[in-house]
Structure 1
Amino acid sequence: MYASCYLVCYGIAQWESRVNGLDLKDKNLVGTISPNIRNLSFLRSLNLAINSFYGRIPSEAGHLIRLQSLNLSYNSLEGEILVNLSHCSNLMYLGLQYNHLVQQIPSELGSLSKLKNLYLANNQLSGKFSPSMRNLFSLQYLWLDLGIALPNLQKLAMAGNKFTGSIPSALSNASNFQEIDIPTNYFTENIPLEFGNLRNLTWLNANRNLFGNYSVDDLSFLRLLTNCNQLQTLDISYNRLGGSLLPEVGNLNTFVYLDISFNKFFKEIPAELGDCLGLEALYVQGNFFEGTIPDLSKLRGVQYLDLSHNNLTGQIPNYMVSFSMLINLNLSINNLEGEVPIQGVFRNATIIEVYGNNGLCGGIQELQLRTRSNKHRNRVVFKLILAIGIPAFSVVVLSLISLC
């Protein structure tokens, strides 16, 4: 093990052995990867993940033609992805995620016909994808992106890069897709309608991109997602989506997690959301929703409910008192009015947030809201006077009439 470490870190050319596996994962190693790695010509598996290697990946790695698994993830490697990794024609696993790699994905990687797992997320990769990537017929897990004509692909993850352009609609050809995770990039245009053909999809995370044009057609894909009857997680927050939230969202009754926050949705929140009975987390904050809070009383298992930073009006619905599973309820920065309940979850100030609603009053003391206003009390007194005074006045008038 020490000899292996010494070779990889410092380049001992004289060390020779028919080693076919080298696992130095998470060994606190620091330095560059030596070009003398080419001497390990019988190597089939090399794992240097979770260390502090820096610099470029040595081109000599492309000479390890017997290599089946190469994991260099979670380091500080720089430069471009090696073109000559395509010479490692037996590669089935390539892990380069969480480094500082730049530029485009080499088109030559499309020749790795045996590759099943490709992990490239959380680098600084840019540009568009080469059509040659569609030749990766064996690919099952892609932590980055693509799908084009990869029928066996099940998971797609490409978070935290700088990819641009539109998502290819041909991704839907990968009918076995279960998870699409493409957040924190610069993807534009619309989320493909064809995603509605992915019947096995359980997870779609497209947050923090540039999807949409703040137009009424931005959510057209949502109608077809109702075909994805296993979809549990949808996160399209922090994009440029606009229009009103479609009532069809209620047909996605397998939802567990829905986040549409920080877009430009307007009009009312559809009451059909209340039909998503399995929802545990619902985030709609940071939009332009208006009107009263709809009937969501059937969401008995909801744990996180954020309706803040909108233009909602009316009172806090009484049914929220019975949301016993709540961990956080955020109704702040709206135009709500009336008394805040003091029963149920509203007895715990660490769970609820209601600040920034000038019309709210009452509630438990920890919320530091104003008490019921004098104006409100005056209205109540006036109503009592009317209720008591008018009958009394009628009795007096009748008495005077009888005296006449």
Structure 2
Amino acid sequence: MSAGSFYYSLCFQSLFLFCITLILLVPFASFTTTIITRNSAQNERDEVALRAFKSKIVHDPQGVLSSWNDSRHFCEWEGITCGRRHRRVTVLHLSSRGLSGSLSPYIGNLSFLRNLMLYNNSIQGEIPREFGSLFRLELLSLFNNYLIGEIPVNLSYCSRLITLSIGHNKLVGKIPPEFVSLHNLKFLALHKNNLTGGIPPFLGNLTSLDFISISYNAFGENIPDSLGRLRKLSFLSLGGNNLMGTVPPSFYNLSLLSTFSVSENQLHGILPSNLGLTLPNLQTFIISLNLFSGSIPISLSNASKVEVVDMSENYLFGKLSIDFGGMQHLLRVLVHTNNLGSGGIDEMKFINSLANCSNLEMLSITANRITGVLSNSIANLSTKLQRLELAENQLYGSISPGIANLVGLNILVMFKNQFTGTIPIEIGKLQNLHVMSLGNNQLSGEIPVSLGNLSLLEKLNLQNNKLSGVIPSSLGNLKQLSLLNLSQNDLSGTIPEQIFNMPLLSISLNLAKNHLIGSIPSTIGNLKVISEFDVSDNNLSGEIPDEISVCSNLEYLYLEGNFFHGSIPLSLNPLRGIRQLDLSRNNLSGQIPKFLESLPLERLNLSFNDFVGEVPMKGIFTNASAISVVGNDIKLCGGIAKLQLPKCLNNDPKKDKISSIFKILISTASAVLGLIMIPSFIFCWLGKRRKKQAFESMLEKSLLKVSYEMILKGTDGFSPTNLVGAGSFGSVYKGILDQDGAIVAVKVLNLQHQGASKSFMAEGKALRNIRHRNLVKVITSCSSIDFQGNDFKAIVYEFMENGSLEKWLHPALESEEEQKKKYGLGNEISTNGDVYSFGILLLETVTRKKPTDVMFKGDFNLHSFARMALLDRVMDIVDPMLMNEEIVATNHRMRQALYDSREECLISMVRIGVACSVESPQDRMNISRVVHELQSTRKLLL
């Protein structure tokens, strides 16, 4: 071939190859372009879906979505994972990021998505039905959000779904029956929603299930037997669903079951005796708050893997005979609130086997009928034990000092048993203790000072024991304490001020029903957050401290049954949260303050005090069943009709009452002195003259005559209903002696009493010749013979409607014997005796204290009470009513002078009363001196 031919041949071949290549490459290029274009479109679709998701998030506190921008590919955005081959989104994981907003339906376009995890956020709204398009989805976790609505039926299209966790939301409706197609499902968590319609039996067909948590919904109905077919099941939680009936027997044959929880339902039945054998992998067994009965199976001792046993609040009975020795992993044993116990003496022996459980954290047998002694083996329990609850059983014996070995204890509850002996001082070593309740036992001795070392203690309850001694001031070291109850013991002494230095004492401070004395310390104002303060039924005295008003959270205030005096302080007005106030059975006085009307009280007890004046008529005072003012009736007036109090006579009864008492005090004392002394002078005079018969004749001629028959008829046969009073010389009856219906008082003398005849003659003449506005008037007398032929003598007086001075001072006088008691009515009449009686009466009037008051015991009496006060504190014992009257003066200096004069007058009266009532008759003040002193005292007021 020539060179030219070769050249042309080569060119032709090259052109041919080019054409062939061109023919082949053009279709391939077109195919490649198509693939690239399609992938790009799908990637763009994923990005659009992610941006749509971001647009629905309204709050991103951690800024997690700030990386979702154009500066990087969406596969590099935080929380996003893409496949290596196709660069499509396979995982969206933004859990526990605090996201708020709703779910975008565009998530359904992430067709390669396998895992969608958005749990522990604040996402609201419904689950989009478009999620059913995620046919590759294997894990959907939306747990712990605020999702609402029904579970989308379309999720049944996610046939590859292995994990469905949408619990702890607000979902409603039924579990869709279409879920029967989810054959790959292993993990189902729908708990803590509002699902209804019963547990669907089709779940028993999902044989891959090994985890079911559908507790705390509202399913109701029975547990379907079909669930017993789930042989792979290891976790079953059905609690809090209002389920009824019994647990299907097949459940107890699920040998892989490690957690079995059906608490808080209405299930009943008896536990199988072989429970511990058929469930060898059991770790958590919870059947609390149901209706199970029968005994606890002994076979449970074989469940060596058990960590939690909770059978509390059922109706289980019999002896607790489980041997816990083989349960090395045991954490909690809770069998409280059952009927366990058979009355045997060795029912606490199971404690010994718990010594091998070195991980034990809780033991509660409270509220059963278990009998036995808490032996020293308690000291061998785990040092990890945090809660030991043995309350409300029949345990007895002493508390072992070995309890101090349980250094991990947070809660020690042993109340309502029969423990005796003392509280071990070693208990102060439990430095981690937060709650200690040993109340309602028979513990004795003193409260250990070592309790002050429990610096973390929040609640201390020792009520209703036999503890004695004083309250340790070391309790003031308990700065975390919110409740302290030492009531119903034999504690004595004063309330330590340190008790009020606990700033977190907010629930209650209860010291009621002890023998405490002294006053409430002013440091009570430190308890600014206290809700209840109870010191009732003690021997406390003094005034109610103003500092209580600082306790702004106070709701319950109980001060009844003490010796508090003075008025209700106006400073209590700021207690705007007070609900119950009990001040009954004290010596409180003054007027009931108006501000009580505006307080939100639900109960108010002011009974058995010395309150005077008008009862308010608004607020709590409109509810007769919510208030009590009995025992003050003589001095109170007004109020609502149901209280049945007399009407008030004027607009300012307090001022009028106080003013009247103070103005007539000296005049009454002088008149009473005259009344007592004149008969004594007459007796002495008549004794010397020996003219008894002549005087009787004169008296009979001088006075109008009434017959025995008239007196007998007028007093309705001396009926007990007409008896006004009685003394050693006779009895006084109310009666009517004429046709006009005038009411009289008839004093019938007891002629068997020595001196009664003298009293008849002396009283008759003296009172006939005396006229005074403060003395009773004699109308006539009777000296006759009764129908049995016995001498009969009586004196007829005007009837005094307002009663006696004794009745006004002490409306609840107990008996005639108490009326006679440091007055001397049972003694022979003498001048010295009258002076003594007058002195006691004067002291009683000034102090408003009865000589028979319970505070006077042994050698301590009204005389010594006043004598000790003469040194420097007379005004402390004076009846506050005598000092509360307002003094009107033109200037401060004059007003102060009048106050000083009043105090000097009262001091002088106390001094006279003390001088008249000394024990030795010859040492008592002479009657002439008494009159002179009273006149001088009266001048102080003029």
Is the structural similarity TM-score above 0.5? yes
Select 1:300's aligned residue among 361, 380, 405: 405
The secondary structure found in structure 2 opposite 1:19 is coil
Q: Do structure 1's residue 23 and structure 2's residue 117 form an aligned pair?
A: yes
CA separation in 2, counterparts of 1:224 and 1:35? 54
Q: Do structure 1's residue 315 and structure 2's residue 415 form an aligned pair?
A: no
The secondary structure found in structure 1 opposite 2:415 is coil
Do the aligned partners of 1:122 and 1:158 also contact (CA within 8 Å) in 2?
Answer: no
Select 2:144's aligned residue among 41, 50, 70: 50
CA separation in 2, counterparts of 1:104 and 1:270? 46
Q: Do structure 1's residue 40 and structure 2's residue 148 form an aligned pair?
A: no
Match of 1:271 in 2: 375
Output aligned runs, 1:90-129, within 5 Å.
90-129=184-223
Post-superposition shift, 1:364? 1.4
Q: 1:126 to 1:148 in 2, by over 3 A?
A: farther
Post-superposition shift, 1:319? 4.0
Do the aligned partners of 2:53 and 2:107 also contact (CA within 8 Å) in 1?
Answer: no
CA separation in 1, counterparts of 2:430 and 2:108? 69
Do the aligned partners of 1:277 and 1:298 also contact (CA within 8 Å) in 2?
Answer: no
CA separation in 2, counterparts of 1:164 and 1:131? 14
Post-superposition shift, 1:128? 3.6
Q: 1:338 to 1:354 in 2, by over 3 A?
A: farther
Over residues 319-344 of structure 1, what are the superposed CA-to-partner deviations in whole Å (9 max), with x where a residue is unaligned? 4344455443321232322211113x
Match of 1:202 in 2: 307
Q: 1:167 to 1:53 in 2, by over 3 A?
A: farther
Over residues 202-242 of structure 1, what are the superposed CA-to-partner deviations in whole Å (9 max), with x where a residue is unaligned? 211233x3232xx4x1x34x435454343231012234444
Over residues 139-163 of structure 1, what are the superposed CA-to-partner deviations in whole Å (9 max), with x where a residue is unaligned? 223333784222222223445x425
Do the aligned partners of 1:300 and 1:324 also contact (CA within 8 Å) in 2?
Answer: no
Select 1:371's aligned residue among 478, 481, 492: 492
Q: Do structure 1's residue 329 and structure 2's residue 431 form an aligned pair?
A: no
Over residues 333-378 of structure 1, what are the superposed CA-to-partner deviations in whole Å (9 max), with x where a residue is unaligned? 32322211113x444476372431342123513479623799xxxx
Match of 2:780 in 1: none
Q: 1:32 to 1:269 in 2, by over 3 A?
A: farther
CA separation in 2, counterparts of 1:126 and 1:246? 39
Alignment length, in residue pairs? 363
Do the aligned partners of 2:262 and 2:287 also contact (CA within 8 Å) in 1?
Answer: yes
Of the two, which has the highest radius of gyration? 2
Q: Do structure 1's residue 153 and structure 2's residue 281 form an aligned pair?
A: no
Q: Which one has the bigger helix percentage?
A: 2
Match of 1:357 in 2: 464
Q: Do structure 1's residue 339 and structure 2's residue 446 form an aligned pair?
A: yes
Do the aligned partners of 1:28 and 1:51 also contact (CA within 8 Å) in 2?
Answer: yes
Do the aligned partners of 2:394 and 2:418 also contact (CA within 8 Å) in 1?
Answer: yes
Do the aligned partners of 2:374 and 2:397 also contact (CA within 8 Å) in 1?
Answer: no
Post-superposition shift, 1:29? 1.8
Post-superposition shift, 1:69? 0.6
Output aligned runs, 1:160-309, within 5 Å.
161-166=264-269, 169=272, 172=276, 173-207=278-312, 209-212=313-316, 215=317, 217=318, 219-220=319-320, 222-243=321-342, 245-253=347-355, 254=357, 255-261=360-366, 263-271=367-375, 274=378, 276-278=380-382, 279-285=385-391, 287-295=392-400, 297=402, 300-302=405-407, 303=409, 304-309=411-416
CA separation in 1, counterparts of 2:390 and 2:198? 35
Post-superposition shift, 1:113? 2.0
Q: Do structure 1's residue 132 and structure 2's residue 236 form an aligned pair?
A: no
Do the aligned partners of 2:118 and 2:141 also contact (CA within 8 Å) in 1?
Answer: yes
Post-superposition shift, 1:300? 0.4
CA separation in 2, counterparts of 1:154 and 1:14? 37
Match of 1:71 in 2: 165
Do the aligned partners of 1:273 and 1:296 also contact (CA within 8 Å) in 2?
Answer: no
Look up the equivalent residue of 2:387 and give its one-letter code: A
CA separation in 2, counterparts of 1:223 and 1:27? 44
Look up the equivalent residue of 1:248 and give its one-letter code: F
Look up the equivalent residue of 1:176 and give its one-letter code: N
Select 1:84's aligned residue among 158, 164, 178: 178
Instruction: Give the stretch that moved more between structures: 83-92 or 317-326.
Output: 317-326
Look up the equivalent residue of 1:250 and give its one-letter code: N
Q: 1:85 to 1:238 in 2, by over 3 A?
A: farther
Match of 2:528 in 1: none
Post-superposition shift, 1:73? 0.9
Q: 1:27 to 1:314 in 2, by over 3 A?
A: closer
Q: Identity, % of aligned pairs? A: 22
Q: 1:142 to 1:124 in 2, by over 3 A?
A: same
Post-superposition shift, 1:114? 1.8
Look up the equivalent residue of 1:175 and give its one-letter code: P
Look up the equivalent residue of 1:165 and give its one-letter code: H
Post-superposition shift, 1:297? 0.8
Do the aligned partners of 2:195 and 2:218 also contact (CA within 8 Å) in 1?
Answer: yes
Do the aligned partners of 1:143 and 1:157 also contact (CA within 8 Å) in 2?
Answer: yes
The secondary structure found in structure 1 opposite 2:299 is helix
Look up the equivalent residue of 1:288 and give its one-letter code: N
Instruction: Give the stretch that moved more between structures: 33-42 or 140-149.
Output: 140-149
CA separation in 1, counterparts of 2:140 and 2:471? 61
Do the aligned partners of 2:433 and 2:456 also contact (CA within 8 Å) in 1?
Answer: no
The secondary structure found in structure 1 opposite 2:164 is strand
CA separation in 2, counterparts of 1:257 and 1:309? 20
Stretches of structure 2 that go unaligned for 5 or more consecutive residues are: 1-49, 57-101, 240-246, 476-483, 494-513, 516-942
Do the aligned partners of 1:40 and 1:64 also contact (CA within 8 Å) in 2?
Answer: yes
Do the aligned partners of 1:120 and 1:158 also contact (CA within 8 Å) in 2?
Answer: no
Do the aligned partners of 2:153 and 2:176 also contact (CA within 8 Å) in 1?
Answer: yes
The secondary structure found in structure 2 opposite 1:122 is coil
Q: 1:82 to 1:252 in 2, by over 3 A?
A: farther
Stretches of structure 1 that go unaligned for 5 or more consecutive residues are: 375-404
CA separation in 2, counterparts of 1:14 and 1:199? 48
Over residues 178-216 of structure 1, what are the superposed CA-to-partner deviations in whole Å (9 max), with x where a residue is unaligned? 222343445444444432321111211233x3232xx4x
Do the aligned partners of 1:233 and 1:256 also contact (CA within 8 Å) in 2?
Answer: yes
Post-superposition shift, 1:68? 0.5
Do the aligned partners of 2:428 and 2:454 also contact (CA within 8 Å) in 1?
Answer: no
Q: 1:283 to 1:58 in 2, by over 3 A?
A: same
Look up the equivalent residue of 1:264 and give its one-letter code: N
The secondary structure found in structure 1 opposite 2:327 is coil
